[in-house]
Structure 1
Amino acid sequence: MRLTGDTLLRRWYGMLGLSRQSPPSWYRDRLREELRERRIAKTPWQKLSETSDVFFSISRARYDGFPIQKLPPFVASRHVLVYAYMLAKYTSRWKFYRTAAILCNAPHYGLVREVVNPSKDHKLDEVASRHQIDPVEFKRVGRQLRRVWPLLP
């Protein structure tokens, strides 16, 4: 199962096409942040979401060539839901930004490859800035999309 899971994750990260981050300590910092959020999560839903963020941080660092920690050995009864949630959550965010860029007629919408949480306006501003998209229009479109888009916390 491990090889199949690794292959799936490699293909998924290839599809997402996220930019490699610099400096390499960025990956360790993100993991620390996600572990801290996981520790303070209260509800089962919050714990699932934060656990998926931890798995995402570890697997993304590994995919980008900065293995900071190993993922726990796959146990279907414990990890299927975490991986399913992670794939759905980050794929939905990635598609949200691509769709927003298309609706804003961004000339290079295909280069918009983002997975930050779009539930906050300042994140929409950051993404618009990174991709030279009109921030006012991008925020307007993003707000409309948030009303109907299935975003997971």
Structure 2
Amino acid sequence: MALHRWFAMLKLTRQSPPSWYRSRIHEELRERRAARTVWQKLSETSDVFFSILRAQYDGHPVTRPPPTLCLWRNSLVYSYMVAKYTSRWSFYRMASRLCRGVDHRLICEVVNPAKDHKLEEVALRHHIDPAIFKRTCRKLRRIWPLLP
């Protein structure tokens, strides 16, 4: 129930076609298998959980969710996931507020802001000058408590 409210707060755009969700989950599982350190595994596991839960929330449930999705067994993963994606969501809202010219309340993004090509995609999606947005995000990343 709390995660349902959290997804409602994030207001992420539903993706089309539905196969997008499956592809995303497969990509996250590949990254999870490639993770080496405990920290990387935690981060990638949270990405897998996020992708599965987002698909379910958006009405495209995966056919077989992993048996490890049990909340009480994975409270650390869930806590990390909520902190990580809420931080990214807040980061983009603040960056858009600093860029001015766009209503920051309409910015609902959770992609990794450490990747410049993702910043450009976000800027173009929201009709923000990509150069200004990237410059603003780079400055903001110096002080923002982002989780990987």
TM-score relative to the length of structure 2? 0.94
Q: 2:129 corresponds to which residue?
A: 134
- Superposed CA deviations along residues 56-110 of structure 1, whole A, max 9, x for unmatched, are 000000000000143535252x301000000000000000000000000133221
Identity of aligned residues (%): 66
Q: What runs of 5+ residues in structure 1 fail to find an aligned partner?
A: 1-6
2:32 maps to a residue whose letter is: R
Q: What runs of 5+ residues in structure 2 fail to find an aligned partner?
A: none
1:34 maps to a residue whose letter is: E
- 1:18 paired with 2:2, answer no
Q: 124-133 vs 67-76, which deviates more?
A: 67-76
In 1, Cα distance between the equivalents of 2:102 and 2:4?
28
Contact 1:18/1:114 (<8 A) preserved? yes
1:141 maps to a residue whose letter is: T
RMSD: 1.2
Structural mapping, 1:33-72, within 5 Å: 33-68=27-62, 69-70=64-65, 72=67
Contact 2:92/2:109 (<8 A) preserved? yes
Runs of 4+ in 1 over 4 A off after TM superposition: none
Structural mapping, 1:1-153, within 5 Å: 7-68=1-62, 69-70=64-65, 72=67, 73-74=69-70, 76=72, 78-153=73-148
Contact 2:10/2:89 (<8 A) preserved? yes
Q: What is the aligned length?
A: 146
In 1, Cα distance between the equivalents of 2:25 and 2:102?
34
Residues 79 and 92 of structure 1: CA distance in aligned 2, closer, same or farther (over 3 Å): same
1:64 maps to a residue whose letter is: D
